[in-house]
Amino acid sequence: MKLSFLSALLPAVAAALLIGGAATATPAPAASGNSGADGSNLVVGPRGQLVPGPGKTSDKDKKHYLNCEQVWADGGGPIYPGQPGYSVLLDPQGTGVACAH
């Protein structure tokens, strides 16, 4: 008797967990200006961690680095997605942190 009750209940519980997990896995859209909902400049990074969001930059604020040595020589690092100078080429592991010492 217990086995049939559990076997009938298990699919419903699994479906509820999958639906609930899918709803929470999708991040909410950021507020205008790409800042967090609380007004901070933090956004959810590629692995679910909070990282500084993109700021408003002009052409003079844009930086391009070929490697991390150039970042460190410029006194920079680590660089997060959305910050001037960030590039996926400087973040080969895809952690959302480029040129961390």
Please determine, for residue 21, whether its predicted confidence score (pLDDT) is greater than 80: no
pTM metric for this prediction: 0.41
Confidence grade of residue 48 (pLDDT, cut at 50, 70, 90): confident
CB-count exposure of residue 79 (10 Å: 0-12, 13-18, 19+): buried
Mean pLDDT of 13-42: 55
Confidence grade of residue 79 (pLDDT, cut at 50, 70, 90): very high
Cα–Cα distance between 50 and 15 in angstroms, integer?
A: 29
Cα–Cα distance between 19 and 24 in angstroms, integer?
A: 9
Q: What pLDDT sits at residue 24?
A: 47
In this predicted model, which residue has the larger pLDDT, 67 or 15?
A: 67
